[in-house]
Amino acid sequence: MNALVVAALALLVVTTTPYVGYLALYAWVQPAGSPADKQDWEPDVSIVLPTYNEAQIVETKLDDLLKLDYPMEKVELVVVDSSTDDTRGIIREYFEDLDAPELVLLEEDKRRGLAPALNDAYAAASKEVVVKTDCDSKLPPDVLREAAANLADDDINAVTGRNVEVLGGSEVESGYRGVQSHIQQLESHLDSTLIFHGPFSAFKNDALLPIDPNSLADDTELALKIRRQGGRVVFDPAVTYMEASFSDFVKRRKQKDRRGMGLIRLLVQHRDALGKYGKYGQVVLPFNWWFMIVSPWLLAATLVIGIGAAISVFGVVGVAFPAAVCVFAYLGQSDRLGPFQPFYSISDTQVSLLRASVELLRGKTDGTWEVDSELREAFE
């Protein structure tokens, strides 16, 4: 057999084995729902909302928060605003004739980035439970109760949830989120999950820690640090939210690549945690290293060598292989792959992670970004 073919097959086996292993582990553990011992609990809650030029949607967001099924007398809203538009004016006016929730408005003169703004907001949050939510997300009425029920368990310090509906209707994103939800349930049952989601995360106040001012993955960083302090941080699929996303390949890149950079940088910064902290460092972190840092390069190499192998064996006919890859990508980004859509969604994530690694190697690590106004149209 041709050496290129052998190399391509070997790469394919090496790349897919850890995935098969994780699937087998999933089948064995059969994680379902949250591992927490959930109990009814109604603590006082600080809701932290960071805003940067959200004048277009902030009123919708506040309406949404007031619709939460929770006694508003027990809620404090901590907004940290770094806008140059009228966001804070709109918020102040909104609260003028409201008795509850109580508003704590932190006003920044200058945009320093999301992480330093959040550090201030977390320091100002005074209630027993602290919820963080992004402006461009919708929350269902039961989300605070579901989150509090998890935190009623003394062993649980933080909980995040599932994106149930991708506003804007992107099948690419919802396909990936479906797969991710299963992975995060498995991680939570083994020990703790890695990724915390910006649209909704809830923490016990006394577990909060400062985050790196340069962080591009603030929510996940907080969760990881809490785990390293001996806490447990889980994912509960009953805790839900909705966030907007595109399917179009080019439009997806900016946000996904930046998020990928934040996560990869975080894993590398905390590489000393590998192997420690029980199954978190022995299974959860290694799998995420594999998925986010190693697998994107291996997949790219498999593809390049696979194309070389196809052409070397079949000559011109071998061009059918890269052509098929292009058709797969084209159909995938227009949400037309039917049952195979999740495979495209994972490839799409791997593309972002590869691009993120390249950007990091090139030394790009700016802590601020353009808030995407096109995505926000899904909320008006």
| Contact residues: ligand GDP, CB under 6 A | 50-52, 54, 80-82, 111, 113-114, 117, 134-136, 198, 255, 259, 368, 371
Q: Which is nearer to ligand GDP, 208 or 309 (CB)?
A: 208
| Minimum CB distance to ligand GDP, residue 59 (Å) | 14
Q: How far apart are CA 304 and CA 7, in angstroms?
A: 11
Contact 199, 166 (CB under 8 A): no
- Provide the 10 A C-beta neighbour count for residue 188: 26
| C-alpha angle 4-5-8 in degrees, rounded to nearest 5 | 85
Residues 294-333: x where in contact with Mn ion by CB under 5 A, - otherwise, as a string: ----------------------------------------
Please identify, using beta-carbon distances, which residue of 19 and 249 lies nearer to ligand GDP.
249
> In this complex, which beta carbon is closest to Mn ion, that of residue 200 or of residue 203?
200
Nearest-CA neighbor of 265 among 294, 227, 292?
292
Q: State the minimum distance, in angstroms, from the CB of residue 134 to Mn ion.
A: 5
Nearest 5°: phi and psi at 62?
Answer: -65, -40
117 or 299, CB closer to ligand GDP?
A: 117
Q: Residue holding tokens 């479906």?
A: 178
- What are 202's strand-pairing partners? 131, 159
The structure tokens listed for 198 are 């910006």
Q: Of Mn ion, ligand GDP, none, which one sits near residue 111, judging by CB under 5 to 8 A according to partner kind?
A: ligand GDP
- The only residue of 54, 64, 81, 136 in contact with Mn ion, by rule CB under 5 A: 136
Region binding Mn ion by CB under 5 A among candidate stretches 129-137, 185-193, 304-312, 327-335: 129-137
Neighbours of 203 (CB within 10 A): 29
CA distances from 180 to 174, 358, 369 (A): 10, 23, 25
- Joined together, the tokens standing for residue 220 give 């996940």
| Cβ–Cβ < 8 Å for 50, 117 | yes
Question: Shortest CA distance to 157 belongs to which of 180, 184, 134, 128?
Answer: 128
Q: Minimum CB separation from ligand GDP for residue 62, in Å?
A: 12
Q: Nearest approach, Cβ of 65 to ligand GDP (angstroms)?
A: 13
Instruction: Identify what 368 binds: Mn ion, ligand GDP, none; CB under 5 to 8 Å per kind.
Output: ligand GDP
Nearer to ligand GDP, 50 or 281 (CB): 50
219 is a contact residue toward Mn ion (CB under 5 A): no
- Residue number, 81 or 134, with CB nearest to Mn ion: 134
Window contacting Mn ion (CB under 5 A); options: 55-63, 114-122, 136-144, 212-220: 136-144
Within 191-319, residue ranges assigned H as helices are: 218-228, 249-269, 279, 285-289, 295-314
Which of ligand GDP, Mn ion, none does 52 bind, CB closer than 5 to 8 A by kind? Answer: ligand GDP
Binding site for Mn ion (CB under 5 A): 134, 136
